[in-house]
Every structure is written in structure tokens, then in C-alpha cells.
């Protein structure tokens, strides 16, 4: 029974960590620039992943696995840059669900071509999960076309490709490839931040940045474990439900109101999960 549940538990754990990390990072962004928050959080995550690799005595991976990690880092970094650019130029109510749904769709399509179609109940669960992701990530303000739709699509491609690329590392190679991905993203984001602002980003560390970095690194780890213990499409779809955790935390801690659309999205997600598990 455990081998069947492993990808589900790891995927949901990744979703919880990523959603909580986004919540922590969002709070930290109220006191610092997003670029500073991301770079510091990613740096914390890098050192955590290296530390976990040393503690678990994970063998240093092959150049192939390091290459997959580096490519995943580039894809993830470009996705993040595109996402924030989309938010700055368009409306979050359009950019967020578009990127989130494409993020989940790309690994599902890749898995379909490489591992074949899942059963019909799982396919129905995937469709419901995509609907849930779109509803949960949406906003009441999405009532007119967004200027950032192209960048949102590019962001979704970047995040989706990150899922696919990092899943290609060899079983047993987890922390080192993820650390490589994180280091590559840090370098890319740092260079872009300097080019855009003509100055070094602030490196003032806040506790919430550290927490965001830890949760993000753990989310990445759980996703790789989910992908290695089962189908990539199941791992990606369950992991992509992370906006639900962010919305719920915002409601519980910040007393932000959950919209009716988001409530429906969370309810649909609860229906989709057991269908995906079948």
C-alpha cells in the first residue's frame, strides 16, 4: 500500500510546503523588494539542500544529473522573472491562474507521451484539478483582458519545464541536483536584478525570508520524491495545488476573505485529489 501512496503523500507535501512558502515570501515582500526576497530565500534553500545532501551522505551525482538540475534552474528562474513581469504589467486575476494551469499541464502532457495515458478516473481528476487551480489562483479583479497574458504563458512554460527537467534526474539523486538548480536560479536572478536596477539588491535578511527559503527547498525535495515514486503527471498535478495552502493561510492568519470562486476551487480540489489517487 505504501508504494501506491508515496507519490500522493509526497505530492501533497510539496503542495503544502510551496503554498506556505509563497505565503511567507509574500509577507516578506511587504518589507523588502521581491527580488531581494527571492534571492535570499533561494540562497537559504541552496545551503539547506547542500546540508541535507551531506547529512544523508547522498553521493555526488553524475554530470548528467547536474546538467538536468542546471537546466531546471534556468527554466525556473526564467519562469519566475516572467511571472513577476506579468503581474507588474497585467492583472493578477488573469496572470496567476494562466501560469498555474500551464505549469500543471506541461508535465501531464510530457508524462502522457512518455508513460502513456492514466486511467479515465485520473484523467477526470486532472481536469478537475486544473479547474481548481485556475479558480483558487483567480481574483475578483479579473474582469478585463490582461496586458501580461504573454508573460504569464511564458511563466507557466518555465515552471512546467522545471517540473519536467528536475524529474529527469536519476533516482537517488535528489539534493545535489536541486542545489544545482537553486544555484543556477540565484545567479540568473542576481544578474537580471543588477541589470534592471543598476545596483546590487539589498541582502538584509528577515526571518520570513529564511522560512520561505526552507519551505521552498522542502517543496522541491518532496516533488522530486513524488516524481521518482510514481507518475510525473500525478506528482505535478498534486504539487500544483499549492495555491490552496496560500489562500487558506491568508484567511486563517491575515483574516483575508476567501472569495466564492476560491471556495469553489478548494472544494473541487478536495474532490479531484481522491480521483487522482485511484
Give residue 96's pLDDT band: very low, low, confident or very high (50, 70, 90).
confident
220-229 residue pLDDT tens: 999 999 999 9
Note the pLDDT of residue 83. Answer: 82
Rg (CA), the chain: 18
User: Residue 145 is part of which domain span?
Assistant: 2-277
What one-character-per-residue DSSP string does 181-203 give?
Answer: HHHHHHHHHHHHHHHHHSSPPP-
Looking at residue 254, the DSSP 8-state letter turns out to be S
Indicate whether 194 pLDDT > 90. no
Which residue has better confidence, 98 or 276? 276
Name the range with the highest mean pLDDT among 77-81, 152-156, 158-162: 158-162
* Cβ-proximal residues to 95 (8 Å cutoff; 6+ apart), any chain: 83, 86, 87, 146, 148, 149, 151, 152, 155
SS3 category, 245: helix
Scored b (16 or more CB within 10 A) or e, 197-220 reads eeeebeeebbebbbbbbbbbbbbb
- Cell numbers at 150, concatenated: 504573454
Worst-scoring range by mean pLDDT, 23-27, 95-99, 117-121, 186-190? 95-99
Q: What is the mean pLDDT of residues 121-129?
A: 94
Sign of the CA dihedral running 264, 252, 7, 134? positive
Indicate whether 1 pLDDT > 50. no
- Cell numbers at 18, concatenated: 510551496
Is residue 168 within 8 Å of 70, Cβ to Cβ? no
User: What percentage of the chain exceeds 90 in pLDDT?
Assistant: 60
Domain count, the chain: 1
Phi-psi region for residue 229, left (φ > 0), alpha (ψ -120 to 50) or beta?
alpha
Alpha helices (H) along the chain = 2-28, 34-55, 63-89, 92-115, 120-137, 149-166, 175-197, 207-229, 232-239, 242-253, 260-277
SS3 category, 240: coil
* Phi, psi angles (nearest 5°) of residue 49: -65, -40
Amino acid at each position: 500500500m505504501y508504494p501506491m501512496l508515496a507519490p500522493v503523500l509526497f505530492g501533497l507535501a510539496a503542495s503544502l510546503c510551496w503554498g506556505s512558502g509563497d505565503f511567507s515570501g509574500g509577507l516578506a515582500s511587504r518589507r523588502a523588494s521581491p527580488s531581494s526576497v527571492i534571492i535570499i530565500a533561494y540562497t537559504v534553500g541552496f545551503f539547506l539542500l547542500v546540508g541535507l545532501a551531506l547529512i544523508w551522505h547522498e553521493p555526488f551525482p553524475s554530470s548528467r544529473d547536474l546538467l538536468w538540475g542546471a537546466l531546471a534552474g534556468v527554466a525556473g528562474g526564467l519562469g519566475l522573472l516572467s511571472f513577476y513581469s506579468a503581474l507588474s504589467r497585467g492583472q493578477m486575476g488573469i496572470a496567476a491562474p494562466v501560469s498555474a494551469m500551464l505549469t500543471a499541464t506541461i508535465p501531464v502532457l510530457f508524462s502522457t507521451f512518455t508513460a502513456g495515458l492514466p486511467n479515465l478516473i485520473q484523467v477526470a481528476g486532472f481536469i478537475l484539478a486544473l479547474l481548481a487551480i485556475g479558480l483558487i489562483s483567480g481574483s475578483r479583479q479579473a474582469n478585463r483582458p490582461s496586458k501580461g497574458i504573454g508573460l504569464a504563458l511564458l511563466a507557466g512554460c518555465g515552471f512546467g519545464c522545471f517540473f519536467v527537467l528536475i524529474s529527469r534526474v536519476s533516482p537517488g539523486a535528489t539534493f545535489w541536483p536541486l542545489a544545482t538548480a537553486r544555484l543556477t536560479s540565484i545567479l540568473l536572478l542576481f544578474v537580471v536584478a543588477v541589470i534592471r536596477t543598476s545596483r546590487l539588491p539589498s541582502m538584509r535578511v528577515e526571518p520570513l525570508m529564511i522560512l520561505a527559503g526552507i519551505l521552498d527547498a522542502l517543496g522541491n525535495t518532496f516533488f522530486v520524491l513524488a516524481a521518482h515514486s510514481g507518475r510525473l503527471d500525478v506528482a505535478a498535478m498534486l504539487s500544483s495545488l499549492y495555491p490552496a495552502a496560500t489562500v487558506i493561510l491568508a484567511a486563517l492568519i491575515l483574516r483575508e476573505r476567501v472569495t466564492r470562486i476560491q471556495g469553489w476551487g478548494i472544494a473541487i480540489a478536495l474532490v479531484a485529489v481522491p480521483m487522482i489517487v485511484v
